Structure 1
Amino acid sequence: MSVDFKAVPRLAGGYRFQWEEAQQNHVLLYPEGMVQLSDTAAAVLSLCDGKRTVEAIVAQLEEDYETEGLDEDVTQFLMEAEAQGWVKYG
């Protein structure tokens, strides 16, 4: 299984990404509960807006973190996020 760099990820229906002040953490809220996110997971999911391609997300993160070679880490996370039902493509 791999991620198409031209695919456009977005949060799946029923999920909401937000900063949770009480937790001092970014979270994904859904009807059954909440997922606390690491800073890197939050950085990726914040860019999954249904407008950017995977390629654009990687480029933005590499710019933000002033590094290169994040494509494998980002695509691995997106595959896991899709498997969890957090992210959809289209």
Structure 2
Amino acid sequence: MDPPPTGTTQTGTRTRPGVEVSDFDRPRLPRHVRLAFCRTRRRRILLHPETVVVLNGSGGAVIELCDGRHTVTEIVTELGARYQAVSEDEVRQFLTQLVSRRWLELTDG
């Protein structure tokens, strides 16, 4: 029997591919991923073992709010307050991609 498409670790976080991002999930960086600022590139970067991901301005703003306290809905609302046009679908797709790559994990809200 195949495992279900979503996985839950012992801490109640989900990181497997196929995980859907819900309104009440609280995304956060896993222990092996770090958000930093690269002075050379003058951009935020994600540091993952053996990988550096250079983020654009909006990607950095989204991940900055992924602290395990904000829900997805709160993240979209905060970004809407900062910027005039925020696509909720684009934010969800971005978070889903990061979860599928195991660069973000979701805590049930």
Fold shared by both chains (TM-score > 0.5)? yes
| Residue 32 of structure 2 corresponds to residue 14 of structure 1 | yes
Measure, in 2, the Cα distance between the counterparts of 1:30 and 1:76. 20
Aligned residue number for residue 23 of structure 2: 5
Which ranges of structure 1 fall in alignment gaps of 5 or more residues? none
Q: Identity rate of aligned residues, in percent? A: 31
Residues 48, 103 of structure 2: 8 Å contact kept: no
Which ranges of structure 2 fall in alignment gaps of 5 or more residues? 1-17
The offset of 1:30, in angstroms, is: 1.9
Letter in 1 for 2:71: T
Normalising by structure 1, we get a TM-score of: 0.91
| Residue 84 of structure 2 corresponds to residue 66 of structure 1 | yes
Following TM superposition, where does structure 1 have runs of at least 4 consecutive aligned residues deviating by more than 4 angstroms? Answer: none
- 3-state SS in 2 of match to 1:81: helix
Aligned residue number for residue 52 of structure 1: 70
Among 29, 41, 64, the alignment partner of 1:23 is 41
| Residue 58 of structure 2 corresponds to residue 40 of structure 1 | yes
Aligned residue number for residue 102 of structure 2: 85
Measure, in 1, the Cα distance between the counterparts of 2:49 and 2:93. 26
Normalising by structure 2, we get a TM-score of: 0.76
Higher alpha-carbon Rg? 2
**What is the root-mean-square deviation in Å for CA atoms of aligned residues?**
1.3
